[in-house]
Amino acid sequence: MKDIKLLEKLNVANTSIQKYLGESLKPFGSDKIADGMRYAVLGGKGLRGFLVMESAALMGVPQTNAISVGAAVEALHTYSLVHDDLPCMDDDDLRRGVPTVHKKWDEATAVLVGDALQTFAFELLSRSACSDDPNIRLTLISSLARAVGAQGMVLGQAQDIAAETSTRPLNLNEISELQRNKTGALIEWSAVAGAVLSGEDPKALRRYSQALGLAFQIADDILDVEGDITIVGKAVGKDNEAGKATFVSLLGLAPAKLRAQALADAACDALVPFGDRAVMLKKLAQFVVSRKN
């Protein structure tokens, strides 16, 4: 399902966030680290930033606040990509259709650019541009730290690497836990951000984002099998080559597609109480399982 209105809106949100990131990086001047940060962060699809902006809009949070928070999550996400692409990790040469940071510069630069992007994400969240309420900023900071630290994203990446050298492939439970940590926690943080910013109950957004995150990962595994490198913008077929267990290898291609679709529908169901106001978040859930990159 290609939805022009959704893609337009995603693009508008991403442009606002990228503009804010560009402005915020201006004082950093131009050297290898600052240039590397810009190179890596500018050009993302902005899915996580969009989740922040749409959930914030749903909760009546001013857009300027949402842009700042969206910029922080995009910086954080980019740090994880730069480090995941390193030779000692996933060893990828291509990201978002261009050479990865360690290919364009070198490994030391990639480690430092990733490090500085993580720092930058927390710096952005400390700014009053995110919220006038200091306690809300602190909640964003502490919840982001939990989502991406040693019990969240970093753990997921470690589990992913361990799976590659394990003598037996992961089972469905293990791969679901890996996904929840590696990509799910940050997607959830992004979709719940609107509720945190407004002080509303995050329950519906949490249910939405948990289904969305899993749907997203299954779709990613499907793309790794079916995708075209020129459209996906990164290497494909890697999981299969590595003999890695994925949702596709465990479920089969057709059942994996059905599962992803069921999860997208479940994500939409979670937003029923919001009616038409949640239309973009619902469209996003459907888009995620039909995307080509």
Q: Does 88 bind a second copy (CB under 8 A)?
A: yes
Calpha distance 111→266 (Å, rounded): 38
Stretch near a second copy under the rule CB under 8 A, chosen from 14-22, 126-134, 169-177, 235-243? 126-134
Token pair, residue 238, equals 């890697």
Length of the chain: 293
Both tokens assigned to 90: 């996933």
Q: Is 158 in the site for a second copy (CB under 8 A)?
A: yes
33: contact with a second copy by CB under 8 A: yes
Residue 73 makes CB contacts below 8 A (sequence gap 6+) with: 48, 49, 52, 121, 144, 186, 189, 190, 193
The answer to whether 157 contacts a second copy (rule: CB under 8 A) is yes
Nearer to a second copy, 141 or 266 (CB): 141
Applying CB under 8 A, among 21, 155, 281, 289 the residue interacting with a second copy is 155
235 binds a second copy per the rule CB under 8 A = no
> With binding defined as CB under 8 A, does residue 151 bind a second copy?
yes
Using rule CB under 8 A, residue 173 touches a second copy? no
Q: Is 287 in the site for a second copy (CB under 8 A)?
A: no
Nearer Cβ to a second copy, position 109 or 176? Answer: 109
Cβ-based nearer residue to a second copy, 108 or 272: 108
Q: Are 192 and 209 in contact (CB under 8 A)?
A: yes
CA distance 275 to 13: 21
Looking at the Cβ atoms of 120 and 287, the one nearer to a second copy is: 120
Residue 179 Cβ vs a second copy, minimum distance, rounded to whole Å: 17
The span of 80-88, 208-216, 227-235, 278-286 binding a second copy (CB under 8 A) equals 80-88
- Of 172, 169, 160, 192, give the one whose Cα is nearest residue 259: 172
Q: Is 290 in the site for a second copy (CB under 8 A)?
A: no
Among 62, 149, 237, 255, binds a second copy (CB under 8 A): 149
Rounded distance between C-alpha atoms, residue 193 and residue 205, angstroms: 9
DSSP assignment letter at 182: I
134 makes contact with a second copy (CB under 8 A): yes
Residues 6+ apart with CB under 8 A from 152: 146, 181, 185, 186
Q: Tell me if 129 contacts a second copy by CB under 8 A.
A: no
Question: With helix as H, strand as E and coil as C, how does 66-106 read?
Answer: HHHHHHHHHHHHHHHHHHHCCCCCCCCCEECCEECHHHHCC
Residue type at 57?
A
- Identity at 181, one-letter amino acid code: N
Residue that the structure tokens 């080509």 belong to: 292
Q: Which residues bind a second copy (CB under 8 A)?
A: 27-29, 31-34, 37, 79, 83, 86, 88-89, 106-109, 111-112, 114-116, 118-120, 122-123, 126-127, 134-135, 137-138, 141-142, 145-146, 148-151, 154-155, 157-158, 161-162
